[in-house]
Amino acid sequence: MELVPEIIAKMREVAPPGQQVLDDETVGVLRDLTQSLIAARTSAAEEHARFLSIAERGLCLPEAELAERVHGATVMVTGGTGCIGSTLISQLLIRRPGRLISVSRGVSDSRPRHASVEYRCADVRERAALDQLIGDVRPDLIFHVAAQRDPGLAEVEVHRTVSTNVLGTRNVLIAAAEAGVPQVVCASTGKALRPYSPDMYTASKRAAEWVSSTVATSTDMLVSAGRFTHVLDNSIIYQRLHEWAKGSGVIRLHSPDIAFYVQSALESAQLLLLACLGATRGEFRIHAISDLGWPVSLMDLALAVLASSGSQTPVYVSGYDRGYEEIPFPGLYDPLTAGDVSPLLNAIEAAATVDPPCPMLDAFRMDMAPEPRAVKLLSTLVEVCDRTQDPATVRGTLNELSWSMLDATLRAAPRQALMRSAAMAQRHGDSLGADHRRVLEAIQDNADPGTAG
């Protein structure tokens, strides 16, 4: 039997990355090689089972503290009919709020609805509707979960992604602050640990965190967040693998070496509840699960789906699509802290950790220096999104904001953390792309003015 690396090498030779269409002969060869790979990769079924078992994972919750915060309160959940939103609503119901309101724009799947929950229709992109709804309901607590969550789709639907993830978050927070809402908890993503990214989904969620931090530090409202990684229960990857296995095309994998962290919808909902307890006035604290287990092999997952369904669909190693970063910035993690904190925190964030509300979490205080240019660029982004849906224009404006947010991040970061990040990245200086070189130069400027070259 051929070894796995040999089979993958043949697959790449037969069908080099970057092709949008494969001819019938190539597909036939890939089909045979894929079946050989299924036979050789004996660990795939076990990895698949481990992936599915994550759905049962949950966190330990301090029930007395949660009861004090939630019992009898009026609670609103944006995106309440989605996967995480509906799971959060179920968790909230256990804690017996006085009134529970789900807010969504009317697009949902077959998730169960609860008789005691009020379901309202509103789009977080529409500020006037939010003002009226929040003013009428007067919630004690808002969980903001509504978002556009597909990185690939974000590169196509740029305007919807930015107006939902960035401006929608801004709308919720400002409407809540002006209505006197005591607390808002936001859902974020581990992708936002990148201090800068040209990818629309990552950049939009990073910008949403910055918006949240500005509101948290400029108002009396408690604002905090939880960062999710890949959520099994609404896994875009897993859904896509099954669709491809049933079809007549190919399974397109960016790389045979991808491994990704996974958490359950239950863990995600409970993370938001804990982020609620971890909020501190005048600060923006972000929370993430400390131990996410070993990352899941995407290749094993794909092969197990094919084997379990008896599908003859071939695997094609297609290379990275836009919206999915192939190589992270090499100064992202510090070996001195990477094993001690959640992988959803970067090296700079790990230097700002605070006591979490639960031992199963890590939390950090997001420090951002005042940045008038970023404030101005956010206003420009609002104006641009109001004026046009042109992807290039919206993308360019968000990209300018992203670079400005990087400056705000680095000017507030501990000098020693910046020096270590710069030293780690500098070792890869010859292989850095243009964006990563610019990030490195910005880190060097802030760590020690005069060292950038």
236 class by beta-carbon count within 10 Å (0-12 exposed, 13-18 middle, 19+ buried): middle
Question: What is the tens place of the pLDDT at every residue in 387-428?
Answer: 999 999 999 999 999 999 999 999 999 999 999 999 999 999
Asked if residue 408 lies in contact with residue 201, where contact means CB atoms within 8 angstroms, the answer is no
Asked if residue 336 lies in contact with residue 352, where contact means CB atoms within 8 angstroms, the answer is no
Question: What is the tens place of the pLDDT at every residue in 113-172?
Answer: 899 999 999 999 999 999 999 999 999 999 999 999 999 999 999 999 999 999 999 999
Asked if residue 292 lies in contact with residue 229, where contact means CB atoms within 8 angstroms, the answer is yes
Place of tokens 């599908």: 311
Place of tokens 């609805």: 113
Give yes or no for residue 321 having a pLDDT over 90. Answer: no
DSSP 369: -
DSSP 359: T
pLDDT at 336: 79
Give yes or no for residue 379 having a pLDDT over 80. Answer: yes
Query: What confidence category does residue 452 fall into, taking pLDDT thresholds of 50, 70 and 90?
Result: very low
Q: How far is CA 408 from the centre of its chain?
A: 21
Give yes or no for residue 328 having a pLDDT over 50. Answer: yes
Query: What confidence category does residue 450 fall into, taking pLDDT thresholds of 50, 70 and 90?
Result: low
Give yes or no for residue 367 having a pLDDT over 50. Answer: yes
Where are the alpha helices (H) located in 180-297, listed in sequence order? 200-218, 236-246, 265-277
Percent of the chain with pLDDT over 90: 89
| Positions of E strands within 22-105 | 74-78, 99-104
pLDDT at 334: 85
